Amino acid sequence: GEIVLAADTLVALNDQIIGKPRDVEEAAAILRRLSGRAHEVCSAVFVCHLTSARSTSFYEISRVWFRRLSDSAVRAYIDKVNPLDKAGSYAAQGHGAEIIEKIEGSYTNVVGLPMEKTIAALREFGIRPKPA
């Protein structure tokens, strides 16, 4: 059977949703707001079996603490990573270790898809993902 999987992720700071920045200046402003603080990364996932119309959905929330970032650290990060296609202007993978102090919860959720719960949901539909 055919399966559809849809997911989206957002960043929230003090109940305010932070989306993708419009430009590099807004990306720098977002990173400065997150500097030295904790925020949440929230993902929602929907899985549907098209033939039977059976579906399941779930969400995952992870907490992320940023290091204190100087203006030069913000500029250096933006020079290394394209912040414009990322909610919150950052990616946990790659250079994320330079700005992230710690993550509580699912690391893969912060990357963009909570794999632990997603694999469990796919197994409910008889799909056994192969390890990478």
Query: Does residue 8 carry a catalytic annotation?
Result: yes
Catalytic residue among 8, 23, 71, 85: 8
The C-alpha angle with vertex 58 and arms to 56 and 59, in degrees rounded to 5, equals 165
Rounded Cα distance between 126 and 95, Å, is 36
Rounded Cα distance between 35 and 26, Å, is 14
> How many Cα atoms are found within 13 Å in the side-chain-facing hemisphere of 94?
10
Rounded Cα distance between 29 and 26, Å, is 5
Quote the tokens at residue 48: 């549907």
Catalytic residue positions? 8
